[in-house]
Amino acid sequence: MAGPIEESVQLTQEWVKAFHEGNAEALSALFARDGVYISWAGPFPTMGREAIRATFAGFFKAFPIRQLLMRDESRKAYGDTVTLYNNWTLIYGDGKGPLKTVWGRNSSVTIMVEGRRLIIEQHNSFFPIAGP
């Protein structure tokens, strides 16, 4: 039987697969019903599974070309709660213009809810711009 860390790793693999496939339904199903997603692309949190599905469906439609590379993963288990921190690179495009590349970081919290491990909060942000 898998422990909290192993379940979190599997959840991350499912998330990345759904993202690359452009499957907003599968991706949003990895969030709790009242889960929160805070995107690098906007200032306000997206709250609830249906709103998260709609957010990703819009992104996938606008940018059919996308590749996400994750690195520097760190997971900590506190009882049944798992926190994840990682850095990422996203290459994406609309197929009409040049590809864009952005770099950022993610922090997520997962718990056992609705009979399985799900994301209750995920926050993505750009790396800060380095000063002089």
**pLDDT of the residue at 36:** 98
Burial 5-19 (b: 16+ CB within 10 A, else e): eebbeebbeebeebb
- CA dist., res. 83 & res. 77, Å (int): 7
**pLDDT of the residue at 130:** 63
- CA dihedral sign of residues 47, 7, 107, 71: negative
**pLDDT of the residue at 2:** 81
**pLDDT of the residue at 24:** 98
- CA dist., res. 57 & res. 108, Å (int): 20
| Residue 43: φ, ψ to 5° | -85, -15
Cβ atoms of 67 and 83 closer than 8 Å: no
Judged against a pLDDT cut of 60, whether residue 132 lies above it is answered with: no
Mean pLDDT within 81-95 = 96
DSSP letters spanning 119-130: EEEEEEEEPPPP
pTM for the complete prediction?
A: 0.93
Residue range 41-67, pLDDT digits in tens: 888 999 999 999 999 999 999 999 999
**pLDDT of the residue at 1:** 65
Max Cα-Cα span within the chain: 50
Cβ atoms of 128 and 109 closer than 8 Å: no
